[in-house]
Structure 1
Amino acid sequence: MCNNMNWSPSHPILVSSKRRHRSKKSKVQIYRLSRKRCEEEDVKKDMELMNLKLYLENRSIIEENEKLRKRANLLHQENLALMSELQNKFPHLDRFSTTLLVLLQKH
């Protein structure tokens, strides 16, 4: 009789045992889903942080580029002014001769 009770679907212990098993399975599935969501959120946060770092690095490079562009423009204008002054000082020289003269004076 005890043997029949164990196999009876209406037996409270057996039903309770089945419920617990289902419950554990559901909890494991929920835990896996929540863990997967957490991992996805972590990846998303890591990507956002990486994007922010790259954005700030790009802004820094752009600012440095602008500074260098302004400096190059100033040097170009200074070079033009010096070439003009040199041509005024030696009007008989052409541009090639003036450039050659400048190079010779540096050495």
Structure 2
Amino acid sequence: MKKSLSDDSIPLLFSIYGLSGWCESEADLYIAIPLIKTLLYRDLGYDKYLLLYIISSLVSELKEVDAEFVIYLIKESLDFQKGDKITLQLRKIQKHLLMVLSAKQ
């Protein structure tokens, strides 16, 4: 997975789908999470929406909420235009995130 993320000949979306499956299986998340974090700082274009889904799922399922993921989700939800379809989805994620954070305190 690490090699595919750094190989420009492999579409980034393939790596993101691979990470998505990895996270859903919950196998070795301590390896997957740093790989996901490398994507936070890349220009993903439309593929960003799948990454947002992966991160929001991780945040709601992890016993310890990762601050970097929370900051990323909040930043992304604030960056979108009001009324945009994606914005509405991000607002739902943001509400869910706040509920998860409240429950874990």
Q: Which has the higher contact order (CA 8 A, sep 6+)?
A: 2
- Structure 2 length normalisation: TM-score? 0.18
- Structure 1 length normalisation: TM-score? 0.18
More helix, by proportion = 1
Which protein is bigger by CA-based radius of gyration?
1
